[in-house]
Structure 1
Amino acid sequence: MPAVADRHDAPTAIQSNLAAIFISLELSRSIWLVTSLSPGSAEKMSKHSVRAGDVAALLARFSELKRKASERTGKSFPIVVIHEAGLDGFWLHRVLQSEGIESHVVDPASIATSRRRRRAKTDRIDGEALLRALLAFKRGEPRVCAMVKAPTPEEEDRRRLGRERKVLIAERVKHVNRVKGLLFSQGVSGYEPLRRDRRQRLDELTTGDGRSLPMHLKTQISRELDRLELLLDQIKRAEAERDALLAAQQAATPASPGKMLLEFRGIGAEFAASLWLEALFRQFGNRRQLASYAGLAPTPWQSGSVDHEQGVSKAGNPRLRTTLVQLAWLWLRHQPQSALALWFKERVNRNGGRLKKTTIVALARKLLVALWKYVTAGVVIEGAVMKDA
């Protein structure tokens, strides 16, 4: 999930005569539903639809709304637009901003909805709910919704390197497991498709009952190896581009996050790039914002005498969260005398050796905050060993 934006300056209350035309957009693959509330319209929401992707028709509808509001009140009003973060990404948000229109992208999960067992849900209802959330946000109501901070096109494109590599690695695992499964059904085990002599060893394999591999099975495995070798080449090229990006950033900025992260023992190019491109290129106001962005913020459940913890929210960036949990396990191995590793060991011992998985998530959150403090303020992690040492 994208980072939550800082709250914009807004009046403490909106007068009955609205100072702007408020518009919500319900985006789909075929139709965009435009729900608007204009000054002088007796607080009646109007709804129109345009064909999906037709920006010209959308801007024409905005101009028509401004013209009608001007005829009713004799004044000209700015337009404020809101739509949900989703499949469309941020291109429409950038188009609206380039036209001088105030645009907001909201996290759809942050908007309050009815808790009835069966609730009505249509684009019209969602459009009205979006519009009410925008009005409350502009009034300055706290925590009414979470607005998304849109990345720049360069930031958005830059992090595709790490994400593409993760997709390629997942595909590699599928091909390797498929080859092993096909051979295991014939009584063959111990074959490693990732070894360089995979072709030669395939020719030497025999089934569990002493036969040569069946012709069609061997042909199928050969095609799997063709696809696997293509993936290995793509992974190598993606890693080369990642390393070049890190090197360019280090050359441009001496105290770059990527370079500073690589100084720690146990953090390599992949972890440094993931942490930098997924989180540490942004500005965060405090550690709670950072933990929330990673989906590592706690979610208590308290009501009367009931008081228990539900675990982390998992509402943030899933790639960053996965990377941090993996890094936390490696941190225990490569930084055993650091204050964070000692805290983990003390906490696990206190629980009698139990709850390691729960505690490692807490360590991941602490590690993220510690690394953020190091790259932004130079606060060294107590007891951490650097590679130069």
Structure 2
Amino acid sequence: MPMTADQSQKQTATLVDLGAIFVSLELSKSTWLVTALSPCSEKMSRYTITGGDIAGLFSCFGELRQKAKRRKNILYPLVVIQEAGLDGFWLGRVLSKEAWIESHIVEAASIAMPRRHRRAKTDRIDGETLIRALMAWKRGEPRACSMVKLLTPEEDDNRRIGRERKTLIAERVFHVNRIKGLLFTQGIRDYQPVNRDRRQRLDELRTGDGRPLSKHLKAEISRELDRLELLLTQIKAVEAERDALIVRETSETPKEATALLGIKGIGPEFATILYTEGLFRHFDNRRQIASYAGLAPSPWQSGNVNREQGVSKAGNPRLRATMVELAWLWLRHQPKSTLAIWFKERIAQNAGRLKTPMVVALARKLLVALWKYVSSGVVIEGAIMKTA
């Protein structure tokens, strides 16, 4: 019987001895599936552990090392891989504390998968796939998978400010629209819930047919205003924490964020998101930072087919959305900069069309320019700086 491609791949993956025990973790709320491949074995072994049981996990790792030692009299280290998911980075930090464990967190979308219309997917198959990807990555195969950088607790915590504010703003918009919608059904169009006189104005409102607001409707709107006022208070508190991190210069204020605030058109919110979501990291070249933001191009070339699919959108969505918004504002606040002039020339070549794709291209160029500015001090050509 001929050997299938999957069987051939499995044997090729298991017969390679890289001097370590390779372990993959499939994490869920209830159970953790541990898949292991030892240098002295040709088959992958599997163990099930209760979710969150760190002691049981290390006990399983110890058994794997002792079993391999009995066979080859070598106490092998462990190379562990897990997907970036609901558990975040805490487990990776716990494993990295041990000298005999090399922990990696992989971006799940970067692992090649079968392209069959109906492919089998189980935790067992995923565990084996993770081990094969990890071994290929350790052998130095290019593009085998993409590993996620393990953030420090401080870096991870700093990102909460911008993300929480975005959530609060979305909730504020929801409640404002809810109040306006309720009043619109009564013929009231000029009420602004975010104004300070919202309570007084509510008592003075009259419907389109000249009646005061009914009792239950007014009570419902009052409760919506209670929620809205709580959100406004929380937004102010979050913005105060943001200003303490970015605006007020102290010994703990990151110099990258302070440098961003010096550019006209970039305020505290943009500086916070740009720094905490991307520019605090180390990038080797402009392609890496564009790829991290999901602003890298994704061509489709095969034979005579050669077309551009747009940006990959495979990176940080918060950083990407912020850069596109900043690109529009850059045209307003920095009209004489080299990047703005480049954008206007390209639009003129297309007779004013394709503004949206060109703004995305401007966002990519602007992100690279800001990265060079905060990392190497390269001034953006033609940019206007804020006065002291």
TM-score for the superposition, normalised by structure 1: 0.94
Structure 1 residues 254 and 98: alpha-carbon distance in aligned structure 2, compared to 1, 3 A threshold: closer
Instruction: Quote the residue 2:152 is aligned against.
Output: 152
- Check whether the contact 2:14–2:37 (CA below 8 A) recurs between aligned residues: no
Partner of 1:225: 225
| Mapped partners of 1:15, 1:246: distance in 2 | 52
**CA deviation string 1:157-183 (max 9, x = no partner):** 111111111110011000001011111
Query: Residue 251 of structure 1: SS of its match in structure 2?
Result: coil
Alpha-carbon distance between aligned partners in 1 of 2:34 and 2:68, rounded to the nearest angstrom? 16
Q: 1:170 to 1:376 in 2, by over 3 A?
A: same
- Per-residue deviation at 1:363? 0.7
CA distance in 1, matches of 2:207, 2:114: 60
Question: Could you say which residue in structure 1 is the equivalent of 2:340?
Answer: 341
Gaps of 5+ in 2: 1-12
CA contact (8 A) 1:85 1:108 kept: yes
1:106-255 paired onto structure 2 within 5 Å: 106-247=106-247, 250-252=249-251
Q: CA deviation at 1:209?
A: 1.4
Q: Report Cα offsets for 1:303-359 as digits up to 9, x if no partner.
A: 111111111111111111111111111111111111111111111111111111111
Letter of the 1:335 counterpart? Q
2:304 counterpart letter in structure 1: S
Query: Contact 1:295–1:317 at 8 Å: present in 2 too?
Result: yes
**Counterpart of 1:221 in structure 2: which amino acid?**
I
Question: Mapping of 1:342-357 within 5 angstroms?
Answer: 342-357=341-356
**1:16, 1:112 → 2: CA distance?**
20
Kept after mapping to 2: 8 A contact 1:14/1:139:
no
Is 2:292 the partner of 1:264? no
- The equivalent of 1:60 in structure 2 is 59
Question: What is the distance in 2 between the residues matched to 1:253 and 1:286?
Answer: 27
8 Å contact 2:246–2:254 — kept in the other structure? no
Separation (CA, whole Å) in 2 of partners of 1:167 and 1:174: 11
Partner in structure 2 of residue 24 of structure 1: 24
Count of residue pairs the alignment pairs up? 375
Matched, 1:82 2:81: yes
The CA RMSD over aligned residues, in Å, is 1.5
* 1:254, distance to aligned residue in structure 2 (A): 8.4
CA deviations 1:89-148 (Å, max 9, x no partner) are 011101111122110000000000010111000000000000100110111111100001
Whole-Å separation in 2 of the counterparts to 1:176 and 1:334: 30
What letter matches 1:164 in structure 2?
Answer: E
How much does 1:57 deviate? Answer: 0.5
Deviation at 1:185, TM superposition (A): 1.0
Query: Which amino acid in 1 is paired with 2:80?
Result: V
SS of the equivalent of 2:148 reads coil
Map of 1:93 onto structure 2: 92
The alpha carbon displacement at 1:212 in A equals: 1.0
Please state whether the residue corresponding to 1:300 is helix, strand or coil: strand
Number of the residue aligned with 1:388: 387
Kindly indicate whether the alpha-carbon contact (under 8 Å) linking 2:245 and 2:253 is maintained by their aligned counterparts in 1. no
Aligned to 2:331: 332
Residue 227 of structure 2 aligns with an amino acid whose one-letter code is R
**Matches of 2:18 and 2:351, distance apart in 1:** 61
Contact 1:298–1:309 (CA<8 Å) still a contact in 2?
Answer: yes
CA shift digits 1:243-300 (9 cap, x unpaired): 011146x432788111111111111111111111111111101011001111111111
Distance of aligned partners of 1:236 and 1:16 in 2 relative to their CA distance in 1, 3 Å threshold: closer
Sequence identity percentage: 68
Q: Which has the higher contact order (CA 8 A, sep 6+)?
A: 1
Q: Distance in 2 between matches of 1:388 and 1:15?
A: 65
Query: Secondary structure of 1:252's partner?
Result: coil
For the residue of structure 1 that corresponds to 2:270, the secondary structure is helix
Q: Is the 8 A contact 2:31 2:48 kept in 1?
A: yes
Q: 1:32 to 1:287 in 2, by over 3 A?
A: same
Contact 1:24 1:36 in 2 (8 A): yes
The answer on whether the counterparts of 1:18 and 1:38 sit within 8 Å (CA) in structure 2 is: no
Q: How many angstroms apart in 2 are the aligned matches of 1:174 and 1:368?
A: 31
Spell out structure 1 runs of 4+ moving beyond 3 A: 13-18
Q: Quick check: 1:310 aligned with 2:309?
A: yes
